[in-house]
Amino acid sequence: MFWAAASQGRLVVEGCSSCGAESFPPRGICRSCRGRAMVPVEITGRGVIYSFTVNYQRWLPDLEVPYAIVLVEFPGHPGVRVAGRLRGCPPEQAAIGMAVEVGFEPGPGGYATPSFIAAGGAT
C-alpha cells in the first residue's frame, strides 16, 4: 500500500475504519482500538519537522554528504511520523518546526523513498 502509492508520489498511511486513528508504518492493525479493518489515508498537507540530523559521515563509499534527515509529523494526523531526506535548502538550514511539503525521490531497488521539500517559514 505505502510503496505502491509512493511510486505515484503520494504519501499513504493506514487509517482505522472503526475509530479513525491513523498510523504509520503500516502494521495491519489499529494501534488505538486494535481493529483490523485498515484503509488507505492519503496525507496531502504540509508537515512539520519534529527533529532532524545533518549527516556528515560517509557510511558508504558512494554516499554524498552532507545531507539532512528529517522526522516529519503532520498537523491533524496524530500517530503519523515519517523519516526522509530534506531537499530544497542547504542541509544546515534544517530546523525543528520548519514546514515541509511531501515529496518522494528515486531510491534503492527502484523504490520511491520519502523525502521532504523545505516550504519556507514555520507553520
Partner 1 sequence: MGTDLFERRVVISGVGQSVIGRQVDRSGLALTIDAILAAVEDAGLRLDDIDGLAMFPGGGVANLPGYANGNLYEVQDALGITTTWRQGIVEGMSLPFYGPAQAVATGQARHAVIWRTVKEGSASRNAGGRPAYGSTKPAAEGPLAWLLPVGMLSPVCQVAPYAARYMHDYGVTREQLAWIPVTQRAHAALNPDAVYTSPLTVGDYLAARMISSPICLYDCDVPADGATAIVVSAAETGPDLRAPVRIEAMAGVVEGRPSWEQWEDMGRVGYGAAAAMWARTDLRPGDVDVAQLYDGFTIEAVWWLEAMGFCGTGEAGAFVDGGTRIALGGELPLNTWGGQLSGGRLHAAFGHTAEAVRQLRGEAGHRQVAGAEVAAVTNVGGFEAGAALLTCW
15 near partner 1 (CB under 8 A)? no
83 near partner 1 (CB under 8 A)? yes
59 near partner 1 (CB under 8 A)? yes
Stretch that binds partner 1, among 9-17, 34-42, 101-109 (CB under 8 A): 101-109
For the bound state, the minimum distance from the C-beta of residue 51 to partner 1, rounded and expressed in Å, comes to 4
57 near partner 1 (CB under 8 A)? yes
Apex 13 CA angle, 66 and 8, nearest 5: 70
Rounded Cα gap, residues 24 and 89, in angstroms: 26
The x, y and z cell numbers of residue 12, run together, are 499513504
Query: Among residues 79, 75, 76, 78, which one has the least CA distance to residue 100?
Result: 75
Residue type for position 3: W
For the bound state, the minimum distance from the C-beta of residue 72 to partner 1, rounded and expressed in Å, comes to 10
The answer to whether the beta carbons of residues 99 and 121 sit under 8 Å apart is yes
Site residues, partner 1 (CB under 8 A): 24-25, 50-60, 63, 67, 69-71, 81, 83-85, 96, 107-109, 111, 113-115
